[in-house]
Structure 1
Amino acid sequence: MAETPKAYNQEIDFDNLDLERSYTLEEFEYINSRLKKYTLEIDDDGHPVNLFELDENGKLVPMPQTSCRREQVVAEIARQLANWNIQTQKGGSVTTSQGGFDFVVDHQTSIRAPDVAFIPQNTVLRLTDEQAWTFQGDPFTPTFLVEVADIGEDTDNSKFKEADERFKEELITQSTVVQLGWLIDPQHKRIYIYRRGRRRSNPGWGDISGENVLPGFVLDMSLIDRIIDPPPPAPPRPQVQANCPYCNNAFNNTYELIKHLESVHC
């Protein structure tokens, strides 16, 4: 039997979700919260969906679940960015594809969830509880974002054109404060860089700089390559004791030492 809870005076049938009608922000939040425990199949290919974006017309935009390998790449980018944020004490916030923002398209609410995004500290500190915990407050966007997608080997195919349009018409517009965006295709080893007010660039497959938007941040692509083409397992290393140079505490590995340095001495 179909589940038909009532949300804001309208029935929402999760077994027959109507993608043609417009939804309010409250309904959008309700649907995504329910989909944490409820997966939909909404196309003929049976791609599972448990997250939606919201377009400028209030219609739900399905975000199909992604493959393990692609999500590994997203997680690695977010990990390196989060480490930079901690090590440089920037105090910003890193989100992944579950973190939505109101990018405002054609003066209408448009909730988009980049695969990776960075919000600087000055924005984080100004957020109200309404902005931080719901989509009801004044809209705000990150200054940097990343999309990871299969876009093919050239710029003539429809998948690339769709991603390119998303950057130019939704993510980096007059309504947002996004300054830098990366479109990365790990399957075909393609990188496209979008900068506000400048033409798209296509550097070769290699390390990428965060430029003046993320000073000192460089994405180490060798770690992405290890995900794309996993190397054979390395022989186990002998356990080595690591001593803190500041307080002489001893640790069983360098990871524990780094955590100690960050929490106690940085």
Structure 2
Amino acid sequence: MIITKDPVSLTYSQPLLLDVSNTTLTVTSEQFDRLCIDNPDLRLELTPDRELIVMPPTLPISGERNGDLSGQVWYWNRQTNLGRVFDSSTGYDFTALEGGKPSPDVSWIEKSRLEGISLEKFLSIAPDLVIELRSSSDDLKPTQKKMLVYERVCVKMGLLIDPQNKRVEIYRPGKEPEILESPMSVDCNEVMPGFVLTLERIW
């Protein structure tokens, strides 16, 4: 006689882990929100094509560079009090504009645009400034594609900082990207009055 166990009665004390590094996972916006709630320690993004992106921890050099960029924006904003600064864990919801749910490395929004906006859920308004830092593990093309999404949802100024090529790509709505080769700084005055982002520590 063969004795079988009811599969419903089986319990597991440890989570079952799957390697999905070579798999494209697509989820709905609602499923993505559930994943974010259930996995608060993970950095997740949703592309406009509903592809789930799971971002691994950065290498120390990328973490240091991103901290420098975020710190510059934070310090300027602390001095001027013109808006709010958000770090790389902040989620945006551009699904209504077919822009997915990204998490920029650094973003800034002028404070009057946040009046009446809840900060207890993903932000659905486009930032005035977005900074994306390409890490050594990032392919350039997907990052550029992400910048085009920011442009499409009308982020006023998007900076793609590429330490590998010592280059900055500047994205603005309705314009071709502006390329700066090995700049020591980027003038962001058009969006953030008087703010100049220095890049000496990035290269």
TM-score by structure 1 length? 0.62
| Greater RCO structure (CA 8 Å; 6+ sep) | 2
Shift of 1:188: 3.2
Look up the match of 1:148: 133
Paired position in structure 1 for 2:151: 172
Kindly indicate whether the alpha-carbon contact (under 8 Å) linking 2:62 and 2:135 is maintained by their aligned counterparts in 1.
no
Identical-pair percentage = 24
CA distance in 1, matches of 2:136, 2:112: 34
- 119, 127, 144: which one aligns with 2:109: 119
Paired residue secondary structure (1:111): coil
1:27-65 Cα shifts (integer Å, max 9, x gaps): 42342344345xxxxxxxxxxxx2211233544222222
Q: Which runs of 5+ in 1 are unaligned?
A: 5-13, 38-49, 153-157, 226-266
1:86 aligns with 2:78: yes
The aligned runs of 1:125-204 (5 Å cut-off) are 125-127=115-117, 129=118, 132-135=119-122, 139-150=124-135, 159-168=139-148, 170-173=149-152, 176-204=153-181
1:49-128 to 2 correspondences below 5 Å: 50-90=42-82, 92-104=83-95, 107-108=97-98, 110-127=100-117
The reply on whether 1:217 has 2:170 as its aligned counterpart is no
Number of aligned positions between the proteins: 188
- What do residues 201-221 of structure 1 show as CA deviations (whole Å, max 9, x unaligned)? 112321111031111100122
Pairwise CA RMSD? 2.8
Partners of 2:162 and 2:26 in 1: CA distance:
33
Secondary structure of the structure 2 residue equivalent to 1:165: helix
User: Which amino acid letter does the alignment assign opposite residue 214 of structure 1?
Assistant: M
Q: CA deviation at 1:123?
A: 1.8
Query: How far apart in 1 are the matches of 2:14 and 2:125?
Result: 34
8 A Cα contact 1:172 1:178, kept in partner: yes
Bigger radius of gyration: 1
> 1:80 & 1:56 partners in 2: Cα distance?
30
Q: Is the 8 Å Cα contact of residues 129 and 155 (structure 2) preserved in structure 1?
A: yes
Structural mapping, 1:202-241, within 5 Å: 202-205=179-182, 206-225=184-203
Residue ranges of structure 2 left out of the alignment (5+ in a row): 1-11
Superimposed CA distance per residue, residues 219-245 of structure 1 (whole angstroms, 9 cap, x where no aligned partner): 1222434xxxxxxxxxxxxxxxxxxxx
The verdict on how the C-alpha distance between 1:17 and 1:108 changes in structure 2, with shifts beyond 3 A counting, is farther
1:120 maps to amino acid: E
Distance (Å, rounded) in 1 between the aligned partners of 2:186 and 2:99: 32
2:5 counterpart residue number: none
Specify whether residues 181 and 23 from structure 1 end up closer, same or farther in structure 2 by C-alpha distance, changes over 3 A only: same
- Structure 1 pair 108–166 and aligned structure 2 pair: CA distance change class (3 A): closer
1:151 Cα deviation (Å)?
A: 7.6
1:91-112 Cα shifts (integer Å, max 9, x gaps): x11112111111237x446100
Partner Cα separation in structure 2 for residue 171 and residue 109 of structure 1? 8
